[in-house]
Copies of this chain bind each other. A is one copy, B any other.
């Protein structure tokens, strides 16, 4: 299947927009706070956001002191919202798939990506392009779906008891990397599964040193407040990495 631009699908777009309006979800509770906790001081920095979507993060980076923010996304519909709702003189939004990153004439201090890299087939190519446009000692901070989520390849994801409670995650094909198709608002949302070791080695081979890797989980206080996240004992939904350009 060719490169997919699922975010320009009407049904997907509306479903996704509604999800993002729900303020208490795994993104707002785990993924976003963890990603932001790994960011450096952005004052005076040039930032590139890969898969910027509605631009909600780009505007935050400006508030955090970034001098210039470039947000790229494959979806023109997402960028329309970004330009309308999250514009700023310091932000430039560009329609561009990550796979074309090598054509972007930019030197960035920090490259950030929130839940986009699992849509990319050529992970190694994108990481090399990020490395090339980063300044020396520049940082790449990204989140993606956890490999224990992306590995899923059809069939039941969970074994449940008679009351519907989750007993097990039905793990299969973790060692079989490549395309996956899932149903998320629409059928056949295309993603790519890679093992933890592949993600780590791809970064290292491109010239990055990994500084932190987090599989974010709720603490007890958060679980007491939001019991809907108790299933995270099976696994974290996310993988968040900070890596520095060293070579």
Query: Which residues in A have some Cβ–Cβ distance to B below 8 Å?
Result: 148, 159, 167-176, 195-197, 200-201, 204, 209-215, 217, 232-236, 239
In angstroms, Cα B215 to Cα A239, docked, is 17
A113 nearest CB across to chain B (Å): 18
Report yes or no: B215 in contact with A210, Cβ–Cβ below 8 A.
no
**Given A170-B168, A175-B234, A212–B217 Cβ distance below 8 Å?**
no
Chain B residues near A175: list those with CB within 8 A: 215, 217, 232-236
A239 to chain B: which residues have CB within 8 Å?
197
Distance to closest chain B CB from A243 (angstroms): 10
Q: How many copies does the complex hold?
A: 2
* Residue numbers in B under 8 Å from A148 (CB-CB): 148, 171, 174
Alpha-carbon distance A209/B243, docked complex (angstroms) = 11
Contacts of A167 in B (CB 8 A): 170, 172
A195 to B196 Cα, complex, angstroms? 11
A171 contacts B213, C-beta separation under 8 Å: no
A202 to B17, CA, bound (A): 38
B-side contacts of A217, CB under 8 Å: 175
Contact indicator A196/B168 (Cβ below 8 Å): no
CA distance A172 to B230 in the complex (A): 12
State A148–B197 Cα separation when bound (angstroms).
Answer: 13
> What distance in Å separates the Cβ of A96 from its nearest Cβ neighbour in chain B?
31
**10 A-B contact pairs sorted by A residue (CB < 8 Å):** A148-B174, A169-B171, A173-B233, A174-B234, A175-B215, A195-B236, A197-B214, A200-B200, A204-B210, A209-B209
